[in-house]
Structure 1
Amino acid sequence: MLRILFSSLLLTTCFVGQRSHAESPGEQAMQQLLDRDAVVIPLWPDEEAASKQTQKVPADTVGDSKSGKPAISNVTEPSMILFAPPAGVEATGTTILFAPGGGYGRLSLPNAVDICHWAGAIGAHCAVLKYRVPRAADDPGHRVPLSDAQRAVRLLRTGAADLGIDANKIIMIGSSAGGHLAFNLANNHGESTYAAQDATDTISARPDAVVLMYPAYLTQPTESLTADPHLHLDQLSPERTPPTLMTVTRSDKFTWGAVNTMLQLRQAKVPAELHVYPEGGHGGCFDKYPLMEFVRPAARFLKDQGLFTEAMQHESNAFLDRLEATFLKRRVGQQEVSKTETVKLAATKSDAEVHPSDWTEGDRQLAALRKPAPEIISIWPGDGKRDDDPAAALQEELPQRPDGLVRITNVSRPTIHVWRPAHPDGRAVVIFPGGAYNALAAEHEGTQIAQWLCDQGITAFVTKYRVPRRDGLDKHAVALQDAQRAIRLVRGRADAFNIDPQQIGVLGFSAGGNLAALTVHHSDRQSYPPADSIDAVRADPDFAILIYPAYLTAEDTADGLDPMIQPLKSSQDYPPLYLAVAADDRFAPDSLHYLLHLHRAKVPAELHVYASGGHGKGLRESGGPFAQWTRSCARWLADLQNGTTNVIVEGSR
């Protein structure tokens, strides 16, 4: 490979110390793995690099790490290995500075290759940071790697014109220890970690955004909510700290650090997102599904920050689509068999259907939202009311909303509205609208969601459960009764509904998200005296979707969770769970603390915390970034059905 010297930068800046010897083994390895020429930019003048050497060792060495992947060790002369977009791809000016992981003992190369391929596809330059490793025992706060990262950003900014990049579009991405380094730089870019070498060191080292891939060491000890003190989380601010996106898998021990950091970023009002995928352990990039999916929200997040163009986001999504297609096409045959086997029942109506003459006003309003009208099933036998309900005499009301959407309160005759898809695939979801247990947002968190599910082939059941809260009872007491009975009815009459009794999930919003969680955590508790044979059917959901769930936490408990969120006996007692919330939703901490509960219980769970969107948006576009939850949830539902999670993608490189 031909080395392209960084001579033009030498002529136009105060940068000194261009290394005269041949490129190092690590730099050669990166060029060979990527099969492209690179600009190699030494970080320090020769005399500065020499002063850091305590003994005569090679500049660096290349070998296999413990995991069998190529890695660079013994880095004493740090540099950046800068790759421009490949021929035929127009450069956009955006630069990705990538810090490989390796426990601060080595630098793993496969992720660097993956990120460079992605950057090239979208027209971004990619600079692989070869920072000094292994870590020194007397280097608290990893100041030596931090110095290298600071210097790297400053050099990119100083030489931006010569390199053909935008000095204000530098994004640092790091994996594992590199993720720790990226966040260390993000919040400590102004800290004095070395003596100024030249005019370059007067330039800001603040990256314009950071993306942290399963970042390590953010908390000490690892499985705690105690931040690494050297990160100075008490000084987070939108002015100091650049926009931050993190991704991790639920089973990774470093999930604790990502969750704690997200809590602190949110409190400091720093634009931030966290995307947690169900399984996959630690490590990987575009060779692991569904972890690879993180680049979709990352591209949208970076576009929102003005660092990606719409065209770059489009190309990024197309890049991911190609990767996913390579993997998913192997399962098309299995999917078709599954659909053939599940759609085999006659679409008959249930004998519990309520005649239109007995519909309540709320039922009429909801039924009018679909043509033809859905079947409406009474949750309880007889007149549809429970004799033990202290508010059985309530008459339904429909309070007016400013947006004109249907809202129902004073429910004493709970029902289920059955939305059948044109092409059912056997799956079913019982929907619990939100409303603080005082009313039901039954349209934008009910019927609109039912249509979205039907579009995916899923039979939906909109539950009109009892509200408001009953005096003298827990706020969720009668709602939990209705929810458990609704699940039993759906499962007990699966044949009539043309569904698989082993594929019945729940989906709830806000208070409805709390209710959905309660159906998981109280699946072995009978919340009411049995009424008939239906109550012998199991009431636990096969999967659960919690959208901006409320009331999951309590300040006066040891683990921070509401006492109603009772741990189940084993991970096998939990269904797979999906959660989504906006960072600026006041209930965002509920989802983050609940994820840690699921992490401790070793439950497959996926969580997406979007930068903004507020509370109560349903699937409306007014939710901003949060509106993207439907895409990730649809992918999660498809993965659940097809068994495509936690898979290493063969031949992806």
Structure 2
Amino acid sequence: MKEPASTSRRALLGGVAALGAASILRPGKAEAGPTALTYGGETIALWPGKAPGAPAKLPVRKVGQGSKDPAFDDRAITGIATPSLEVRRPAYRNGSAVLIIPGGGYEFLAWDNEGEEQANWLTRRGVTCFILSYRLPGEGWAKRATVPLQDAQRAMRLIRANAETYGIDARRVAVLGFSAGGHLGGSLATRFAEDVYAPVDEADRLSARPDLAGLIYPVISLAEPFTHAGSRDALLGKNASKDALRAASVENRVTADTPPTFLVATSDDGLVPIDNSLAMYRAMLAKQRPSEFHGFDRGGHGFGVRYKDDIPVHVWPELFHAYGVRHGIFSA
């Protein structure tokens, strides 16, 4: 697959606010080109009524378009007032499901690069996908440090509550997170049993533990010097205490119950250093938990599935799928 020209991830992280409510390609039909997607599917609201800790004035949804190529979208979404799951069904189902968590430094959602395009290749393999539109902690919500985790836990429980509806096995549900979404996916994999919101219905009796975690160029530590400072400050606020930083660092939360975890990072990632993935890998090994780490010399940050054929990191989706097959989540 050839790498399309697009606004760089670094530019998005540095200036998403400037994108505003730009005109976007609307879902509904496939566009021409090798990266074209067909959008559309059911939407599952995470919460009945307002989400926990809602501010008096809810954030307003804005969608910035980072692509100048009509063949594909590269949207950055802010103003998540109503968190939800966007369902992408495969043409045939193999019973597995993935909760996809886009990144964006906890300041926006990289919706296409780390959401729709991931669902595209997974559904072609028979996997039912649920893309998480989660609240951004800096948009006025109470208890900002756990706002995204509230949504991730609730999302996993709702997927299991609707397993029969979507023809999936509630014991074969993975999470796949990117960058700050990798931090959130890792937090879900290690803090799935933590009480971060008051139960609202019967779905909250179900487990929020993913059966497998895929963390792609993830933010892991918020306490170590190699953290991504933007994600840290967006989640916890500036000048967070050392205790808060340690508590939110995924590598410190690994236990004997952490699910098998797959990690991908690159040596030339100048935004989220590869040390993050290494810290998680070491923590998994220390707890004798199944884990697989792939470190590539080239690829940078935010590559998603947009890579040139001559860059070895392009193999990561096949490696992740194979890992899921070995652990009984995906079908060969």
Please tell me the TM-score bracket, short chain as reference.
Answer: 0.7 to 0.9
Q: Which residue of 2 aligns with 1:578?
A: 262
Superposed counterparts of 1:130-149, under 5 Å? none
Given candidates 212, 220, 225, the residue that maps to 1:543 is 212
Given candidates 232, 247, 250, the residue that maps to 1:563 is 247
Given candidates 612, 615, 619, the residue that maps to 2:301 is 615
The residue type equivalent to 1:483 in the other structure is A
SS, match of residue 641 in structure 1: coil
User: Relative to structure 1, is the Cα distance of residues 488 and 505 closer, same or farther in structure 2, using a 3 angstrom cutoff?
Assistant: same
Q: Which residue of 2 aligns with 1:443?
A: 112
**What is the alpha-carbon distance in structure 1 between the residues aligned to residue 167 and residue 24 of structure 2?**
23
SS, match of residue 506 in structure 1: strand
Does the CA contact (< 8 Å) of 1:367 and 1:374 recur in 2?
A: no
RMSD: 2.9
Q: Which residue of 1 aligns with 2:321?
A: 634
Given candidates 92, 111, 127, the residue that maps to 1:423 is 92
Q: Which residue of 1 aligns with 2:146?
A: 477
The residue type equivalent to 1:454 in the other structure is T
SS, match of residue 612 in structure 1: coil
User: Alpha-carbon deviation of 1:635?
Assistant: 1.6
Superposed counterparts of 1:18-417, under 5 Å? 365=26, 371=38, 373-382=40-49, 385-386=50-51, 388-390=53-55, 393-402=58-67, 404-417=73-86
Q: Which residue of 2 aligns with 1:486?
A: 155
User: Alpha-carbon deviation of 1:454?
Assistant: 0.7
**What is the alpha-carbon distance in structure 1 between the residues aligned to residue 280 and residue 92 of structure 2?**
35
Question: Which structure is higher in helix share?
Answer: 1
SS, match of residue 66 in structure 2: coil
The residue type equivalent to 1:580 in the other structure is V
Given candidates 526, 529, 546, the residue that maps to 2:198 is 529
**What is the alpha-carbon distance in structure 1 between the residues aligned to residue 247 and residue 177 of structure 2?**
19
Given candidates 129, 134, 151, the residue that maps to 1:460 is 129
User: Relative to structure 1, is the Cα distance of residues 534 and 365 closer, same or farther in structure 2, using a 3 angstrom cutoff?
Assistant: farther
User: Alpha-carbon deviation of 1:631?
Assistant: 2.0
Given candidates 256, 273, 276, the residue that maps to 1:587 is 273
Identity %: 34
Does the CA contact (< 8 Å) of 2:254 and 2:283 recur in 1?
A: no
Higher gyration radius (CA): 1
Unmatched 5+ residue regions in structure 2? Answer: 1-21, 31-36, 226-240
User: Relative to structure 1, is the Cα distance of residues 639 and 513 closer, same or farther in structure 2, using a 3 angstrom cutoff?
Assistant: same
**What is the alpha-carbon distance in structure 2 between the residues aligned to residue 638 and residue 429 of structure 1?**
13
**What is the alpha-carbon distance in structure 1 between the residues aligned to residue 316 and residue 254 of structure 2?**
27
Question: What do residues 313-360 of structure 1 show as CA deviations (whole Å, max 9, x unaligned)?
Answer: xxxxxxxxxxxxxxxxxxxxxxxxxxxxxxxxxxxxxxxxxxxxxxxx
Question: What do residues 118-174 of structure 1 show as CA deviations (whole Å, max 9, x unaligned)?
Answer: xxxxxxxxxxxxxxxxxxxxxxxxxxxxxxxxxxxxxxxxxxxxxxxxxxxxxxxxx
Query: Is 1:497 paired with 2:166?
Result: yes
Does the CA contact (< 8 Å) of 2:101 and 2:184 recur in 1?
A: yes
The residue type equivalent to 1:554 in the other structure is A
- The alignment's TM-score, normalised by the length of structure 1, stands at 0.40
Does the CA contact (< 8 Å) of 1:419 and 1:450 recur in 2?
A: yes
What stretches of structure 1 move > 3 A for 4+ residues in a row? 361-372, 470-476, 566-569
Unmatched 5+ residue regions in structure 1? Answer: 1-360, 645-653
Task: Tell me: higher relative CO, structure 1 or 2? Use CA pairs within 8 A at least 6 residues apart.
Answer: 2
User: Relative to structure 1, is the Cα distance of residues 434 and 391 closer, same or farther in structure 2, using a 3 angstrom cutoff?
Assistant: farther
SS, match of residue 175 in structure 2: strand
**What is the number of equivalent residue pairs in this alignment?**
278
Does the CA contact (< 8 Å) of 1:542 and 1:576 recur in 2?
A: yes
